[in-house]
A and B are shown apart, each in its own frame.
Chain A
Amino acid sequence: MKHKEQQPEQPTEAPQSYIEVIDFHKSFGEKKVHDGVSFYVRKGECLGLIGGSGTGKSVLLRTLVGLEKPDQGKVMVDGIDIGPMNERQLIDIRKKVAYAFQGGALFDSMTVYENLAYPLREHFQLSEKEISDQILSQLEEFGLDSGTHRLFPGSLSGGMQKRVGLARAMMMHPEVVLYDEPTAGLDPYNTKKIQESILKLKAKGVTSILVTHDMPTVYAVCDKVALLQNGRISEQYTIDKLKQEPSGAMTEFINGESA
Chain B
Amino acid sequence: MLTLMKPLTSFTIEMLHFLGGIGYLTRDIFRELFKSRIYWRLLIEQIYQVGMRSAPLIVVTAVSVGMVMSLQFGLGLEKFGGKMYVPKLLAVTILREMGPMFTSLMLAARVGAGIASEIGSMVVTQQIDAIRALGTSPIRKIVLPRVLACLIALPILCAVTNIVANAGGLIIGAVELKLDPGFYLLKVLSTSNVSDYLSGFGKTFFFALFIAIPACYFGLNVKNGTKEVGIATTKAVVVSSILILVGDFFISKVFWMVEKLL
Q: Which residues of B contact A (CB under 8 A)?
A: 125-127, 129-130, 132-137
Given A62-B129, A65-B133, A107-B127, output 7 extra A-B contacts at Cβ < 8 Å. A66-B132, A67-B129, A67-B133, A102-B126, A103-B126, A119-B134, A169-B134
Report the separation of the CA atoms of residues A188 and B163 in the bound assembly, to the nearest whole angstrom: 64
A169 to B135, CA, bound (A): 11
| Chain A residues positioned under 8 Å from B130 (CB to CB) | 99, 101, 105-107
B132: chain A residues at CB < 8 Å are 66-67, 87, 94
**Residue among A91, A101, A107 making CB contact with B135, cutoff 8 Å:** A91
- Determine how close the nearest CB of chain A comes to the CB of B22; give it in whole angstroms: 18
Contacts of A152 in B (CB 8 A): none
Interface SS, B side: loop
Q: Are B129 and A105 in contact (CB under 8 A)?
A: yes
Closest Cβ neighbor of A118 among chain B residues: B134
A90 to B136, CA, bound (A): 10
* A123 at interface, CB cutoff 8 A: yes
Query: Across chains A and B, which 7 residue pairs bring their CB atoms closest together, nearest first?
Result: A94-B135, A105-B130, A105-B126, A99-B133, A91-B135, A119-B134, A122-B136
Interface check A108, CB cutoff 8 A = yes
In the complex, number of A-B residue pairs with CB atoms less than 8 Å apart: 53
- Is the CB of A26 closer than 8 A to any CB of chain B? no
Of the A-B pairs whose beta carbons lie under 8 Å apart in the complex, a sample of 30, sorted by A's number, is A62-B129, A65-B133, A67-B129, A67-B133, A87-B137, A91-B136, A94-B132, A94-B133, A94-B135, A95-B135, A101-B126, A101-B130, A101-B133, A103-B125, A103-B126, A105-B125, A105-B126, A105-B129, A105-B130, A106-B130, A108-B127, A118-B134, A119-B134, A119-B136, A122-B134, A122-B136, A123-B135, A169-B133, A169-B134, A172-B135
CB A211 to nearest CB in B, in angstroms, measures 14
Nearest B-chain residue to A67, judged by Cβ = B129
Q: Which of A91, A95, A105 lies in contact with B127, CB distance below 8 A?
A: A105
Give the contacting residue for B125; candidates A98, A108, A168; CB below 8 A.
Answer: A108
A107-142 toward B: CB 8 Å interface, digit per residue (1/0)? 110000000001100110000000000000000000
Q: Whole-angstrom distance from the CB of A16 to the nearest CB of chain B? A: 26
Q: Which residue of A lies closest to B136 (CB)?
A: A122
Shortest distance in angstroms between A168's beta carbon and chain B's nearest beta carbon? 8
Question: Among residues 158 to 210 in chain A, which have CB atoms less than 8 Å away from a CB atom of chain B?
Answer: 168-169, 172
In the complex, A90→B132 CA distance in Å?
A: 9
> Quick one: which of B129, B136, B137 contacts A101, CB cutoff 8 A?
B129
Cα A99 to Cα B136 in complex, Å, equals 13
Q: How far is the CB of B181 from chain A (nearest CB, A)?
A: 47
User: Shortest beta-carbon distance, B51 to chain A, in Å?
Assistant: 18
For residue A38, give the distance in angstroms from its CB to the closest CB of chain B: 24
Write out the residue numbers on chain A whose beta carbons fall within 8 Å of the beta carbon of B129.
Answer: 62, 67, 99, 101, 105
Report the separation of the CA atoms of residues A150 and B130 in the bound assembly, to the nearest whole angstrom. Answer: 21
Interface flags for A58-95 (1: CB within 8 Å of B; 0: not) read 00001001110000000000000000000100111011
Name the A residues within 8 Å of B136 (CB-CB).
91, 118-119, 122
Q: Hey, which chain B residues are within 8 Å of A106, CB to CB?
A: 127, 130
Of residues 227 through 255 on chain A, the ones whose CB sits less than 8 Å from some CB of chain B are: none
Distance A62 CA – B129 CA, assembled complex (angstroms): 9
